[in-house]
Amino acid sequence: MDNGKQILDDKKYNRIIVILSILIPVVVAILFGVKIPNVAPLSFLPPIYATINGLTAVILVVALVAIKNKKMVLHENLMTTAIGCSVVFLVMYVAYHMTSDSTKFGGEGIIKYVYYFILLTHILLSIIVIPFVLITYVRAITNNIEKHKKIAKITFPLWLYVAVSGVIVYVLISPYYV
């Protein structure tokens, strides 16, 4: 037992984790194709959600430093904030794509390949990281700290890459927004 807290069984959360890990990408994909008619495009959102991605990356790094310095409450609060930022990002991202046409990348040469590589890995890892974040979070809230530490070593770099690559994708495509 860690910190005098009883370790709770995290297996009861597995069904929720599986459902959310499938449902979130499917719903996002469906909504990505839905266009709301007669609504002004929310063209102001991309720099905001890119900033939220950047903020998420910073929060993740600060949370890592906090836990390395044994500041558990700060770490918990930062990780909850990072999850909240990711949810806000996702809502804004979907809202933007439901009201705006997708922007085509206009770069040429090597930068085009760099952009599409980063975009593709960002998209794929943003789907893959969902169950990792959920499992890591559940292991923390159920006080299964050893299991939490093990999976956090995988979750952290994946989530950090997704957050940072989201900013890079925005920076590379932003000159092509109409």
pLDDT digits (tens, 9 = 90+) for 33-83: 898 988 888 989 999 999 999 999 999 999 999 999 999 999 999 999 999
| Number of other residues whose CB lies within 10 A of the CB of residue 65 | 13
pTM: 0.90
Confidence label for 32 from pLDDT (cuts 50, 70 and 90): confident
Closest CA to 82 of 65, 58, 66: 58
Burial of 79 (C-beta count, 10 Å sphere; 0-12/13-18/19+): buried
Query: Which residue's structure tokens are 């760099």?
Result: 114
Cα dihedral 31→34→37→43 (10° resolution): 60
Domain ranges of the chain: 41-176
How distant, in Å, are the alpha carbons of 7, 38, 48, 82, 130 from that of 137?
A: 14, 40, 26, 11, 11
Q: How many CA atoms lie within 13 A of 102 on its CB side?
A: 8
**Per-residue pLDDT at 2:** 44
Q: What are phi and psi of 39, to 5 degrees?
A: -120, 135
Rg (CA), the chain: 18
What is the mean pLDDT of the segment spanning 122-148? Answer: 96
The 10s digit of each residue's pLDDT in 148-160 is 999 999 999 999 9
